[in-house]
Amino acid sequence: MTAASLVVKDLHVEFSGFVAVDGVSFDAHLGEVRFLIGPNGAGKTTCIDAITGLSKAAGSARIGEQELLGRPVHKIVRLGVGRTFQTASVFDELSVLQNLDIAAGRHRPSVSLLRTRRGVDPAIAQALEETGLADEIATPAGILSHGQKQWLEIAMLLVQDARVLLLDEPVAGMSQDERTATGELLQRLAAKRIVLVVEHDMDFMRRFATRVTVLHQGRVLSQGSVADVQADGKVQEVYLGT
Ligand code: ADP
């Protein structure tokens, strides 16, 4: 099933009285690469934590008719919400294919031992193709490049059939070529899935964002196209420094 949009309304998150997210609303639609940006401590990761059930939050976060807030993490995952973290969480000693087998819930990944693409689960084969990792199936994840590890994490979400991809700083530490490849990957993925990117990298945002929400001190400072937010004096003042 395809979800057409993620709609977040009036999100509030508090930690022992400290308001980290204060009435944030934004939406992300199929077909766009949506960015959430802002200086350190703005509340970006906390928003993603709330949507994925890791932080208790008030307000609303819906995919289609389904409310996510208040549900346990495993139910949110089952609704098709997938998330990556700043540090890729893959099993370094296992091959790319074995990592994907585990993500897909295959408890007896015997085909991985064949070190061949023959007989690979079609969903895994497609995820390998989409993320450009098809030639790396037998490579231990630990020796992948930084970019390839991030792509493996995305591939792991694809085999879990995630319809909403929430990506936390996916290009941090990547080479320029890897950034470009990642941006192009996100554009391809956005055709069929909702893609929301939390990012620090302004150059990457300018090149690949369709719409942007700028957070500052837990609130939405500005929202719109890349051109809109870049032209916004408030954003220039607190963040872009241009
Ligand atoms: P960003 O991702 O934009 O850098 P965060 O969402 O990580 O910002 O953090 C927003 C604010 O909430 C920061 O002031 C941070 O210190 C605070 N914060 C985040 N997580 C917690 C927590 N578990 N307990 C207390 N404060 C937190």
Q: What is the mean pLDDT of each run of 10 residues along the chain (242 residues)?
A: 84 96 97 94 95 96 95 93 84 93 73 55 91 94 92 95 94 91 96 93 91 96 94 82 50
Q: Verify whether ligand 1 is closer than 6 Å to residue 83 (CB atom).
A: no
CATH number, domain of 234, equals: 3.40.50.300
For the complex shown, is ipTM > 0.95? yes
Ligand 1 center–CA 24 separation, angstroms: 15
pLDDT at 113: 47
Beta strand pairing call for 33-37 and 211-216: parallel
Per DSSP, the residues of the chain read ----EEEEEEEEEEETTEEEEEEEEEEEETT-EEEEE-STTSSHHHHHHHHTTSS--EEEEEETTEE-TTS-HHHHHHTTEEEE-SS----TTSBHHHHHHHHTT-S--GGGGGTSSTT--HHHHHHHHHTT-GGGTTSBGGGS-HHHHHHHHHHHHHHTT-SEEEEESTTTT--HHHHHHHHHHHHHHTTTSEEEEEE--HHHHHHH-SEEEEEETTEEEEEEEHHHHHH-HHHIIIII--
Whether ligand 1 lies within 6 angstroms of the CB of 56 is answered as no
Last residue of a domain, one of 161, 191, 214: 161
Same domain for 28 and 146, yes or no, is no
Q: Is 46 in the pocket of ligand 1 (CB under 6 A)?
A: yes
According to the model, what pLDDT value does residue 2 have?
58
45 and 155 together in one domain: no
Q: How far does residue 20's CA lie from ligand 1's centre (Å)?
A: 6
Query: 22 lies in which domain range?
Result: 1-80+163-242
Whether 20 lines ligand 1, by a CB cut-off of 6 Å, is yes
Q: Is the shortest distance between the CB of 222 and ligand 1 below 6 Å?
A: no
Ligand 1 proximity of 44 Cβ (cutoff 6 Å): yes
Minimum CA distance residue for ligand 1 atom 12: 20
Choose one of 135, 161, 187: the last residue of a domain. 161
- Res 114: pLDDT: 47
Question: Do 156 and 168 fall within a single domain?
Answer: no
pLDDT reported for residue 238: 81
Q: How far is the CA of 43 from the centre of ligand 1 (A)?
A: 6
Residues constituting the chain: 242
Determine the pLDDT at residue 89: 82
Dist. CA 109 → ligand 1 center (Å): 38
Is residue 88 in some structural domain?
no
pLDDT at 117: 55
Same domain, 73 and 121: no
Tokens found for residue 175? 């080479």
